[in-house]
Chains A and B, each alone.
Chain A
Amino acid sequence: MSKQQPSERSPKTEKSATGVMDEEASESAELSTIREDHQQAKQAQKGRLGGLDRETLLGLYYKMLLIRRFEEKSAEAYSMGKIGGFCHLYIGQEAVAVGSISAIRQDDYVLTSYREHAHAIAKGMSLESVMAELFGKEGGCSGGKGGSMHMFDSKVNFLGGHAIVGGQIPLATGVAFATKYKGTDQVTLCYFGEAAVNQGSFHESLNMAQLWKVPCVYICENNQYGMGTSLQRSMSFQDIAQKACAYEIASEFVDGMDVLAVREATERAVERARKEYLPTLLEVRTYRFMGHSMSDPGNYRTRAEIEKYQQRDPIKLFAASLREAGVIGDKDLAEIDSRAKEEVDRAIRFADESPLPQPEELYTDVYAAPLEKKPS
Chain B
Amino acid sequence: MAVITMREALNQALREELRRDENVFLMGEEVAAYQGAYKVTKGLLDEFGDKRVIDTPITELGFAGLGVGAAMAGLRPIVEFMTFNFSILATDQIINSAAKMLYMSGGQFKVPIVFRGPGGSAFQVSSQHSQALESWFAYFPGLKVVMPSTPADAKGLLKSSIRDDDPVVFIEQERMYGNKGEVPEDPDFTIPLGVSEVKRAGQDATIVARSLMVPVALKAAEQLEKQGVSCEVIDPRTIRPLDIETIVTSVKKTNRVVVAEESHPFCGVGAEISTEIMERAFDFLDAPVKRVSGADVPMPYAKNLEDLAIPTVDQIVAAVREVSYLE
Contact across chains for A171 and B68 when beta carbons are under 8 A apart: yes
Known contacts A207-B59, A371-B193: A174-B73 contact under CB 8 Å: yes
The contact of A171 among B72, B74, B142, B194, by CB within 8 Å, is B72
List of B residues within 8 angstroms of A169 by Cβ = 65
Known contacts A154-B108, A174-B65, A207-B57: A368-B166 contact under CB 8 Å: yes
What separation, in Å, do the CA atoms of A171 and B69 have in the docked complex?
4
CB interface residues, A 100-124, toward B, < 8 Å: 109, 111
Closest to A370 in B: B241
List of B residues within 8 angstroms of A179 by Cβ = 73
* Segment from A74-82, A155-163, A336-344 that makes contact with B: A155-163
The smallest C-beta distance from B92 to any residue of chain A, in angstroms, reads 6
Asked if B70 lies at the interface with its beta carbon under 8 angstroms from chain A, I say yes
The smallest C-beta distance from A204 to any residue of chain B, in angstroms, reads 3
The smallest C-beta distance from A190 to any residue of chain B, in angstroms, reads 9
Contact across chains for B70 and A150 when beta carbons are under 8 A apart: no
List of B residues within 8 angstroms of A370 by Cβ = 241
What separation, in Å, do the CA atoms of A222 and B103 have in the docked complex?
30
CB interface residues, B 107-131, toward A, < 8 Å: 107-110, 112
Known contacts A201-B61, A367-B102: A174-B69 contact under CB 8 Å: yes
The contact of A372 among B57, B67, B241, by CB within 8 Å, is B241
Asked if A20 lies at the interface with its beta carbon under 8 angstroms from chain B, I say no
List of A residues within 8 angstroms of B77 by Cβ = 174
Asked if A365 lies at the interface with its beta carbon under 8 angstroms from chain B, I say yes
Interface string of B62-85 (1 = CB under 8 A from A): 111111111111110100000000
Most buried by B among A154, A176, A208, A365: A365
Asked if A141 lies at the interface with its beta carbon under 8 angstroms from chain B, I say yes
Known contacts A207-B62, A208-B59, A366-B142: A177-B69 contact under CB 8 Å: yes
Contact across chains for B106 and A143 when beta carbons are under 8 A apart: yes
Contact across chains for B96 and A167 when beta carbons are under 8 A apart: yes
Q: How many A-B residue pairs have CB under 8 A?
A: 156
Asked if B165 lies at the interface with its beta carbon under 8 angstroms from chain A, I say yes
Asked if A164 lies at the interface with its beta carbon under 8 angstroms from chain B, I say yes
Known contacts A159-B109, A211-B57: A369-B164 contact under CB 8 Å: yes
Contact across chains for B104 and A145 when beta carbons are under 8 A apart: yes
Closest to A214 in B: B66
The smallest C-beta distance from B269 to any residue of chain A, in angstroms, reads 16
Asked if A85 lies at the interface with its beta carbon under 8 angstroms from chain B, I say no
Known contacts A369-B164, A372-B194: A174-B70 contact under CB 8 Å: yes
Asked if A172 lies at the interface with its beta carbon under 8 angstroms from chain B, I say yes
The contact of A167 among B97, B110, B141, B144, by CB within 8 Å, is B97
Q: What is the number of residues of chain A that contact chain B, defined by CB distance less than 8 Å?
A: 49
Asked if B35 lies at the interface with its beta carbon under 8 angstroms from chain A, I say no
Contact across chains for B74 and A178 when beta carbons are under 8 A apart: yes
Contact across chains for B56 and A208 when beta carbons are under 8 A apart: yes
List of B residues within 8 angstroms of A144 by Cβ = 106
Closest to A144 in B: B106
What separation, in Å, do the CA atoms of A153 and B74 have in the docked complex?
15
What separation, in Å, do the CA atoms of A212 and B25 have in the docked complex?
15
List of B residues within 8 angstroms of A200 by Cβ = 61-62
Contact across chains for A170 and B64 when beta carbons are under 8 A apart: yes
CB interface residues, A 177-221, toward B, < 8 Å: 177-179, 181-182, 200-201, 204-205, 207-208, 211-212
List of A residues within 8 angstroms of B25 by Cβ = 181
Asked if B190 lies at the interface with its beta carbon under 8 angstroms from chain A, I say no
List of B residues within 8 angstroms of A371 by Cβ = 144, 192-194, 238, 241
Contact across chains for A145 and B106 when beta carbons are under 8 A apart: yes
What separation, in Å, do the CA atoms of A268 and B107 have in the docked complex?
35
The contact of B73 among A164, A167, A175, A205, by CB within 8 Å, is A175
The contact of A170 among B73, B93, B110, B194, by CB within 8 Å, is B93
Other CB < 8 Å A-B pairs besides A142-B106, A145-B106, A150-B105, 15 of them? A150-B104, A154-B105, A170-B63, A170-B69, A173-B62, A174-B70, A177-B66, A177-B69, A178-B69, A181-B70, A181-B75, A204-B63, A366-B102, A368-B110, A372-B194
**Would you list 5 pairs from A and B whose C-beta atoms are within 8 A, ordered by A residue?**
A146-B104, A174-B68, A204-B57, A368-B110, A371-B238
